[in-house]
Amino acid sequence: MNKNRLFLLDAYALIYRAYYAFIKFPRLDSKGRNTSAIFGFINTLEEVLRKENPTHIAIGFDPEGPTFRHKEYE
């Protein structure tokens, strides 16, 4: 019996992690732009798809503008 498997990914957590994983040796494109974040994000996404074989996947991004934390820490 196949069970549905939903994976929820925190986009900005993965982007942040990928950017700093390559901080000493950043991934650069042909124009010298740092592509470490997108490179790492896509690699992580591909790894999840390959290793975990989810039936569904959702990627969440933080909303634009201030959050409740901004008010808490004013």
Q: Per residue in 15-43, pLDDT tens?
A: 999 999 999 999 999 999 999 999 999 99
In a domain, 1, yes or no: no
> What contacts 24+ positions apart, CB below 8 Å, involve 41-48?
41/11, 41/14, 41/15, 43/18, 44/9, 44/14, 44/17, 44/18, 45/9, 45/14, 48/7, 48/9
Range of the domain at 33: 6-72
pLDDT band at 65 (very low <50, low <70, confident <90, very high): confident
In a domain, 37, yes or no: yes
| Confidence at residue 1, expressed as pLDDT on a 0 to 100 scale | 63
| Confidence at residue 19, expressed as pLDDT on a 0 to 100 scale | 94
In a domain, 43, yes or no: yes
How many folded domains does the chain comprise?
Answer: 1
In a domain, 53, yes or no: yes
pTM, full prediction: 0.78
In a domain, 41, yes or no: yes
